[in-house]
C-alpha cells in the first residue's frame, strides 16, 4: 500500500478528485488505482487567503508499488502496511476472573481486550447506566439537585461521555488505531478514522458507550452498574479480592487482578487506597475557567473570508503561552459551538467543563483556560494535598456564587481590570444552572488569575478577539487531570501485587484516547502476567 501526503483540495472541490490527484502524484494512469482510502484529513488555514483541505491517502495499485515509489523519489510518498491490531499472547494461568474498577474510557478498553482474550472480566461502575445517568444529569442542570453517584463524572462511560468527545491526543501509540476502530464500530462517525481533529459529540457518545458494553457482555464479560468498590482484600502484599456495595448491600468478589480505572474524580476511592498504604505521590494539575466567545468571532478569526463556507463548520483553536514568572497557561478541550456544563460530583462544590454535539452548531465557542499548579504550590506535602486544594477552590466558588450550584462568572474585560462584573454584554453564558456575576479572584488562587490575565492579552495577539470585553469566564475548571499519581512498576502494578493503577485517575492519561490506550496497556499487562 502506498501513502501519499499533502494532497490539496480547494473548499469547492469534490473528494472524487482525490483519485485523479493521487494518480498524478504517482505519475501513473488513474486506471491502475484499485482502491483509495483517506488516512488523514485536515483544514489548512495558515494562509487566510487560501484556506483548503489537506489529505493523506492510502492507495493500492495494480503495479509494482516499490518500483513506483522509488521512481517518484518524493518524501510525500511512501510504502506503508495496513494497520492490524495484534493481541498479546495470553499467558495467564489464574482461575479467577479479573476485575476492572470504572467504566470510563480506560475501563471500557481494558474490558474489551480482556473480553476478547476470553477472560470474562467483571467491571464495577459506581454510577448508573447511560439513560438513567442522563436523567440525573438533566435533573441537576435544571433543578440543581446533585446525585453524588450519578453525575457528569460518575456513571456508564465516565466523565468523557459529557464532553466534546474529543479524540485528539498528544501521545504516540500503535493502540490509538485500535481505539478509533472500536469507537467507529460502536457507532462513532466514520470521520474519526481520518480527521486530524476527530470528535464524537456528546449526543453520539451515549450510543457508542452502550454498544461497547454490549460487546463486552456478548464476549462473556459482566458490567455491574451502580456497584461501588468499597475495599481491597489484601494479604501478604497481594490482592485477594474486592468488597463491593450495591443499594446498601455488600458482597465480595475473589480475584487476583484488579485494574483501577477509577477516573480523576473518585476521591473517596483514592483515600481508601492511601489508607491501605498504596504508594501515591503528588502530581501537578491545572486550574482556571471556561472562556466563551461568539462562535462567529472564532470562525472569522480562523478562516477569514471563508468563515461561512458550509464545508468548514465551526472553527476551533489551541493556544498556549508563558504567563507571569514562567508559569504556563493554555487552552484545553476547546468546544466549538458548544456549551459550558455543570460538572460537580461532590455536594457543596462547583466545577465547570465543556461539551458540544456532533453538529457543533451552538452559538458560542468555549474552552478551558488553564494555569499549571505545581506540588510546591500545594498547601502541604501530604500525598493527597492536590485533591484537597482542588476541593478548596470548588467550595469557594460554590459559596461565592450563592451556594446553589450557580457558577461564578465575569466578563473578560472586567477580569483584565480586576473588577467585579455587574451586567452581561453580548455573550450569553451557557452554564445550565445559571451564573452569578462576580470577581473570579475571590475563588481562584491569585497566581492563577494573574497568569490568566497575562495569557488572555498574549493569546489575543494570536487569535484576534480572544480578549473581547464581553466574552465570559465561568469558573472553576479544576478536573482537567488528576492531582495524584498512583505509582506503578514496569509490570504496571502498584506496591500491592495484582493491582494495576490505570488511566486518568491514576495519573497516567489526560483525555479519552490516552485513557483508552492506558486501559489497553493495563489489560495486556494482565494477560502477560503468568501467575
Q: Please report how many Cα atoms fall inside a 13 Å half-sphere around the Cα of residue 144, on the Cβ side.
A: 15
Which cell numbers in the block locate residue 97?
Answer: 476472573
Q: Tens of pLDDT along 275-318? A: 999 999 999 999 999 999 999 999 999 999 999 899 999 999 99
**Residue 328's pLDDT band (cuts 50, 70, 90):** confident
- Compute how many other C-beta atoms are within 10 angstroms of the C-beta atom of residue 296: 16
Q: Which helix (H) or strand (E) holds 70?
A: helix 65-72
**Cβ–Cβ < 8 Å for 363, 408:** no
Which 3 state secondary structure label does DSSP give 92?
Answer: coil
Sign of CA dihedral 204, 205, 210, 213: positive
Which cell numbers in the block locate residue 158?
Answer: 465516565
> What is residue 374's predicted lDDT score, i.e. its pLDDT?
93
Q: Tens of pLDDT along 45-67? A: 999 899 999 999 999 999 999 99
Q: Give, as one character, the DSSP assignment of residue 199.
A: B
- Parallel, antiparallel, or unpaired for β 228-235 and 222-225? unpaired
**Cβ–Cβ < 8 Å for 134, 155:** no
Which 3 state secondary structure label does DSSP give 487?
Answer: coil
Which 3 state secondary structure label does DSSP give 410?
Answer: strand
**Residue 6's pLDDT band (cuts 50, 70, 90):** very high
Q: Tens of pLDDT along 350-398? A: 999 999 888 888 999 999 999 999 999 999 999 999 999 999 999 999 9
**Residue 129's pLDDT band (cuts 50, 70, 90):** very high
Q: Kindly state the average pLDDT of the residues 231-255.
A: 96
pTM value > 0.85: yes
Q: Between 161 and 146, whose confidence is greater?
A: 146
**Cβ–Cβ < 8 Å for 186, 214:** no
Q: How far apart are CA 43 and CA 473, in angstroms?
A: 28
Q: How far apart are CA 353 and CA 367, in angstroms?
A: 9
Q: Please report how many Cα atoms fall inside a 13 Å half-sphere around the Cα of residue 527, on the Cβ side.
A: 22
> What is residue 530's predicted lDDT score, i.e. its pLDDT?
75
Q: Kindly state the average pLDDT of the residues 13-24.
A: 95
Q: Kindly state the average pLDDT of the residues 454-474.
A: 96
Alpha helices in 276-347 (DSSP H): 295-303
Amino acid at each position: 500500500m502506498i501513502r501519499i501526503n499533502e494532497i490539496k483540495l480547494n473548499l469547492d472541490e469534490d473528494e472524487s478528485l482525490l483519485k485523479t490527484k493521487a494518480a498524478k502524484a504517482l505519475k501513473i494512469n488513474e486506471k491502475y488505482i484499485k482502491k483509495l482510502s483517506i488516512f488523514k484529513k485536515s483544514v489548512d488555514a495558515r494562509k487566510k487567503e487560501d484556506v483548503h483541505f489537506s489529505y493523506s491517502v492510502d492507495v493500492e495499485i495494480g503495479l509494482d508499488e516499490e518500483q513506483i515509489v522509488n521512481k517518484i523519489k518524493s518524501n510525500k510518498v511512501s510504502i506503508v502496511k495496513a494497520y492490524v491490531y495484534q493481541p498479546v499472547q495470553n499467558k495467564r494461568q489464574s482461575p479467577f476472573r479479573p476485575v476492572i474498577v470504572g467504566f470510563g474510557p480506560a475501563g471500557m478498553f481494558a474490558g474489551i481486550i480482556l473480553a476478547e482474550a476470553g477472560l470474562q472480566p467483571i467491571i464495577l461502575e459506581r454510577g448508573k447506566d447511560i439513560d438513567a445517568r442522563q436523567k440525573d444529569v438533566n435533573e441537576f442542570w435544571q433543578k440543581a439537585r446533585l446525585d453524588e453517584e450519578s453525575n457528569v463524572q460518575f456513571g456508564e462511560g465516565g466523565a468523557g461521555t459529557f464532553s466534546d468527545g474529543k479524540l485528539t491526543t498528544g501521545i504516540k501509540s500503535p493502540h490509538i488505531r485500535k481505539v478509533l476502530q472500536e469507537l467507529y464500530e460502536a457507532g462513532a462517525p466514520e470521520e474519526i478514522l481520518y480527521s486530524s481533529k476527530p470528535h464524537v459529540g456528546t449526543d453520539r457518545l451515549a450510543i457508542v458507550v452502550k454498544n461497547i458494553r454490549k460487546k463486552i457482555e456478548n464476549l462473556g464479560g459482566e458490567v455491574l452498574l451502580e456497584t461501588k468498590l468499597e475495599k481491597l482484600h489484601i494479604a501478604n502484599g497481594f490482592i485477594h479480592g474486592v468488597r463491593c456495595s450495591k443499594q446498601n448491600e455488600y458482597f465480595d468478589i475473589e480475584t487476583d487482578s484488579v485494574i483501577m480505572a477509577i477516573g480523576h474524580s473518585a476521591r473517596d476511592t483514592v483515600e481508601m487506597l492511601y489508607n491501605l498504604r498504596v504508594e501515591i505521590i503528588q502530581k501537578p494539575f491545572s486550574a482556571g475557567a471556561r472562556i466563551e466567545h461568539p462562535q462567529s468571532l472564532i470562525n472569522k478569526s480562523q478562516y477569514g473570508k471563508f468563515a461561512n463556507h458550509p464545508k468548514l463548520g465551526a472553527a476551533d483553536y489551541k493556544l498556549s503561552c508563558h504567563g507571569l514568572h514562567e508559569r504556563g497557561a493554555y487552552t484545553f478541550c476547546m468546544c466549538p459551538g458548544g456549551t459550558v456544563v455543570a460538572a460537580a460530583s461532590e455536594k457543596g462544590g462547583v466545577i465547570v467543563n465543556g461539551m458540544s454535539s456532533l453538529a457543533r452548531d451552538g452559538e458560542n465557542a468555549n474552552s478551558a483556560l488553564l494555569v499549571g499548579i505545581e506540588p510546591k504550590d500545594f498547601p502541604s506535602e501530604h500525598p493527597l494535598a492536590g485533591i484537597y486544594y482542588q476541593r478548596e477552590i470548588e467550595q469557594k466558588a460554590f459559596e461565592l456564587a450563592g451556594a446553589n450550584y450557580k457558577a461564578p462568572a465575569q466578563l473578560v474585560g472586567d477580569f483584565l481590570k480586576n473588577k467585579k462584573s455587574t451586567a452581561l454584554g453580548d455573550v450569553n453564558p451557557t452554564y445550565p444552572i445559571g451564573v452569578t456575576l462576580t470577581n473570579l479572584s475571590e475563588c481562584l488562587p491569585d497566581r492563577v488569575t494573574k497568569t490568566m490575565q497575562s495569557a488572555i492579552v498574549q493569546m489575543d495577539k494570536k487569535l484576534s478577539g480572544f480578549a473581547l470585553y464581553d466574552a465570559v469566564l465561568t469558573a472553576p475548571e479544576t478536573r482537567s487531570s488528576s492531582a495524584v499519581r498512583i505509582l506503578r512498576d514496569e509490570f504496571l502494578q502498584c506496591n500491592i501485587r495484582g493491582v494495576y493503577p490505570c488511566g486518568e485517575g491514576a495519573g497516567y492519561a489526560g483525555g479519552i484516547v490516552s485513557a483508552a490506550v492506558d486501559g489497553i496497556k493495563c489489560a495486556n499487562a494482565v494477560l502477560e502476567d503468568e501467575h
